[in-house]
Chain A
Amino acid sequence: MKSYLLVAVILFVVFFNSCNNYSKQDVFHGLNLDPVNDSLTLPGNFGLVVVSEGVGKARHIYVRDNGDIYVNLESKVEDSSLVALRDTNGDGWAEDVKYFDNYRGTGIAIDGNYLYASSRTEVFRYTFDGNELLPNLNKDTLISGFEAKSNHHPKGFTFDKLGHIYVNVGSPSNACMEQFRTPNSLGKDPCPELEFNAGIWKFNKNKINQTQQIDGIKYATGIRNAMALDWSEANGGLYAISHGRDQLNTLWPGQWTDEENAELPSEEFFKVDEGDDFGWPYCYHDRFQNKKVLAPEYGGDGKIIGRCEDVKEPLIGFPAHWAPMDLLFYTGDMFPERYKNGAFIAFHGSWNRAPLEQKGHRVVFVPFKDGKLATDKWEDFAVGFPHTEHVTGSSRPKYRPIGLAQGPDGSLYIADSRVGKIWRIIYMGK
């Protein structure tokens, strides 16, 4: 009988609160859980806290060991493009929000007492003196000299444990065509863009005023754009996930249908070792044939392999055009054991599937075991980010995942690019 009374009371409370978007009636370790997971679908026993309704058009996000949150923005807010957030009372919501500095970029991370952040052409370094929210704004330029370009400019980066920083330098073009994105234009051969672009460059993380040309080591090449990269000590090194090329159908009319273009090529998740070549622009990955094939700009027809014989294959080919924006190896203790050292990937969602329905905006999980992929299967982790509208060939999600970070307690933070909403995912099963 008692339990029915409890049911009635709870129903009453929930009923009156659930129609209010901001109602919080569940509390877990002091955190105000969103009762409906903000309409996202998560695996069982995971819940979330909304950290911010929107900080501006977010890119990457990082959480300091004291719980302070740092986000790099794609557009300026109040003439600033970096933002720091602090939850002052432990309920999960960040009350204290401070904007600083003013370039538009992508990468952000903390290493020791330094905050690193990238613009489109530089990587900067700020110093924390203590526990303050904002670092000293007298920053150093760590690296400069990256070519300014409008395609694939995001300088995502990560660190190893030996004092290096690895920076993604995307390709300035889609497929290194002689005529930029022009139907039937052949590819430049060799592709001159590969000299200072379309790869991952390695630098000293402690030396200021480096330039790409003088100090950069081309760690790996043939990578169209892998702004999503992370170093995993447990899995033996650097991993990245790259955006595959666009427009097979419209650049090579008659050779690829709209349906084929919507599913080709793969977004490639790979382990990156020094000296690797992943084959862009000469090759692309076809996940149905499970191999790299020659690109049409270089004589390919979707089957010929040719010079792609020796390029390194991905670990997993993800569905085409989903747009991987961030990669995070989970090292926390909060989530169940199977998540340990596995990879979370934030997909922004497609645009190049038109006229077919756009797809992909979600966060997925790739399990790892004993330093390797556990299987070649990946699974959805956070899905159901709402759309504003569905029109054939067009989709405008209200939220699109773009940044991932791990909190000191093992929470997983997800940042959205449309308005900069931030969610903190927690596991409640323990």
Chain B
Amino acid sequence: MKLFLRNTRCRILCMGFVMFFIAGCRNENSKIHSTDITVEKKNAKIETPEYLEGKKYFNQYCMACHMQDGMGVPGMNPPLVKTSWVLGDKARLIGVVLNGLSGDIEINGELYSNSMGSFATLEDKEIALVLSYVRQSFGNDAGPVTQEEVAKVRASIK
């Protein structure tokens, strides 16, 4: 090391070559490891007017935390990709939007600990559209949520 450092010209030369070779190999080293869930970018759904309206509400109300691709933020805001909340019991899903959610929840082994506010100020129709969009995007493929279903849950929590 000492010997190596003593000769400046050699050092610069070596560094150049070293950088060159390292750069060649770095692709391998810094290969992207997705520690998170695989993102599925393709949306199988046909973009109907309802779907696009749901997407608009999603971008307006939900994207800030769950991100445009529904992948959320590690440790803070959970993903909306194939979670039991999104794909499971619709009343529970509607309840999340109407009541908000806080406390730690664990999804796919990762804890999320931010809090979500209530979106009870949205109309039943808007909630139905946004949740239908969520259930049919980001690789999710579940049936829509109707305005009536939202109304029913809203009545039950009043």
Contacts and interface: CB of A to CB of B under 8 A. Distances in A.
A388 B39 CA distance: 11
A354 B102 contact: no
Given A10-B4, A391-B39, A393-B67, A351 B22 contact: no
Given A351-B76, A355-B59, A150 B113 contact: yes
Given A39-B29, A150-B114, A179-B121, 13 more contacts: A6-B10, A11-B17, A18-B18, A36-B26, A150-B113, A181-B115, A182-B121, A351-B65, A388-B32, A393-B63, A393-B68, A396-B36, A418-B35
Nearest 3 CB-CB pairings of A with B: A181-B117, A19-B25, A351-B73
B76 A398 contact: no
Nearest to A75: B111
B60 A253 contact: yes
Interface stretch (A20-28, A220-228, A301-309, A373-381): A20-28
A391 B68 contact: yes
A325 to B, nearest CB: 11
Interface residues of A, number: 50
A389 B32 contact: yes
Contact of B64 (A247, A396, A398): A247
Given A182-B117, A388-B34, A18 B64 contact: no
A19 B17 CA distance: 14
B10 A18 contact: no
B22 A388 contact: no
Contact of A183 (B21, B35, B71, B121): B121
Interface in A390-406: 391-394, 396, 398
B19 to A, nearest CB: 9
A3 B119 contact: no
A234 B131 CA distance: 55
A419 B35 CA distance: 10
B52 interface: no
B116 interface: yes
B4 A150 contact: no
Contacts of B28: 19
Nearest to A386: B30
Contacts of A151: 102, 114-115
B123 interface: no
Chain B, interface size: which category? 35 or more
B77 A351 contact: yes
Contact of B103 (A18, A150, A396): A150
B53 interface: no
A288 interface: no
A3 B67 contact: no
Contact of A27 (B1, B9, B18, B103): B1
A75 B106 CA distance: 11
Contacts of A352: 64
Contacts of B76: 351
B25 A18 contact: yes
A207 B135 CA distance: 54
Interface string A184-197: 10000000000000
A183 to B, nearest CB: 7
B88 interface: no
A21 B29 contact: yes
B32 A150 contact: no
B46 interface: no
B33 interface: yes
A179 B100 CA distance: 10
A150 to B, nearest CB: 5
B35 A398 contact: yes
Interface string B46-72: 000000000000011101110111010
Nearest to B116: A181
Contact of A11 (B9, B14, B68): B14
Interface in A56-108: 57, 74-75
Contacts of B64: 246-247, 249-250, 352, 354
Interface in A130-156: 150-151, 153
A11 B21 contact: yes
Nearest to A419: B35
Contacts of B3: 6
A239 B109 CA distance: 36
B71 A153 contact: no
A180 B71 contact: no
B69 A391 contact: yes
15 contacts: A7-B10, A10-B18, A14-B18, A18-B22, A39-B29, A153-B113, A183-B121, A253-B60, A351-B67, A354-B64, A389-B34, A389-B39, A391-B71, A393-B68, A419-B35
A351 B117 CA distance: 17
A74 B75 contact: yes
Contacts of A184: 121
Contact of A18 (B4, B21, B115): B21
